[in-house]
A = this chain, B = another copy of it.
Amino acid sequence: MSSLTKKADAFTALVLEVFQLNGLLLQAGDRLSAPAGLTSARWQVLGVIDHGPATVAAVARTMGLKRQSVQQTADALASDGFVEYVDNPHHQRAKCVSLTASGRRALRKVEQAHAAWADRMGASLAPGLLAAAVEGVREARLRLEKDLAPEERSHEG
């Protein structure tokens, strides 16, 4: 660390903070969704198909994940009765993932818990600080996306 410039040091500090916050957020998400029988990953999938059924691949694109990862989560959700595969009029093999009544109930429950939590957390931070954090992190993300883009040469991702 001692050989880094000031700006590099500041950016590295952001990286370490983001890693830590990310870990805590996953923990918080699991705690929010556990009472409804869900996890962070499963809750996210239910959230995506809340506005309407979608194929596994479409959900994956929305979430920025690989379709194989979402497939696993969707299969687990289906075997727990939170979602079901329904026929897709536009594609013979690619069925749509659709919320069941049980899935919708669970999602509503998590959303209520999430609303209370986000409100509590959002209120505990100075508004200006929160806004600055969002903007700063978004800017960093955009730069990093550009930085990473040139070398990505995968037909799957």
Interfacial chain B residues near A120, Cβ < 8 Å:
147
In the complex the two chains form, is B130's CB within 8 Å of A14's CB?
Answer: yes
CA distance A134 to B6 in the complex (A): 13
Return the chain B residue nearest A120 by Cβ: B147
A68 contacts B by Cβ under 8 Å:
no
Is B25 in contact with A18, judged by CB distance below 8 angstroms? yes
* Inter-chain contacts of A25 with B (CB < 8 A): 15, 18-19, 144
How far is A122 from B139 in the complex, measured between Cα atoms in Å? 11
Q: Is the CB of B8 within 8 A of A141?
A: no
Residue of B nearest to A137 (CB): B17
Q: Which of A21-49 contact B (CB under 8 A)?
A: 21-25, 27-28, 31
Which residue in chain B gives the minimum CB-CB distance to A147? Answer: B121
A residues whose Cβ falls under 8 Å from a Cβ of B:
3-15, 17-25, 27-28, 31, 64, 111, 114-115, 117-127, 129-141, 143-145, 147-148, 151
